[in-house]
Amino acid sequence: MKETWRALATRWLKFNTVGAAGIVVQLVALWALVRLLGLNYLLATALAVEIAVLHNFYWHERFTWSDRASLGRRESSLRLLRFNLTNGALSILGNVVVMRLLVGRFHLHYMLSNLLTIAALSVVNFLVSHRFVFVR
């Protein structure tokens, strides 16, 4: 069944609500990993993104795509694997590459660079999730 534009717009808003919470999770994790643990900003970025990916998956499954609920632990585990292999990999790779460019080359602050990178990747992540991860 094809989704109406209104339903798709609602889902996009839900996706961005979860994403906004995920941004907070990612930025706090990034800050803690760099400032408190002294990790390199690129390694910290990859770890912070993965923490946010896990957070976002949990809420996307229960909120954004709750109408496409998993039928059990196995299906949910397969979705998590697909989510990590698509959104997770894209987010980690995209974040590390763009962060290297923005921080390493253009000398922007790592927190601002991270926000810009997240915004740039959000549309692609939504489309991948909608068409591949949370399919019926």
Comparing 134 with 70, which gets the higher pLDDT?
134
Mean pLDDT of 104-118: 91
* Domain spans in the chain, listed from the N-terminal domain onward: 5-133
Quote the tokens at residue 30: 């990034």
Residue 69: which pLDDT band, with cuts at 50, 70 and 90? confident
Total residue count of the chain as it appears in this document: 136
**With 90 as the cut, is the pLDDT of residue 50 above it?**
yes
Mean pLDDT of 93-112: 92
**CA separation for the pair 18, 36 (Å, rounded):** 26
**With 70 as the cut, is the pLDDT of residue 1 above it?**
no
What are all long-range contacts of 116-122, with beta carbons under 8 Å and residues at least 24 apart?
Answer: 118/19, 118/23, 118/26, 120/94, 121/90, 121/91, 121/94, 121/95, 122/15, 122/16, 122/19
Quote the tokens at residue 98: 């763009």
Q: Say what the pTM is.
A: 0.84
Mean pLDDT of 5-30: 95
Residue 12: which pLDDT band, with cuts at 50, 70 and 90? very high
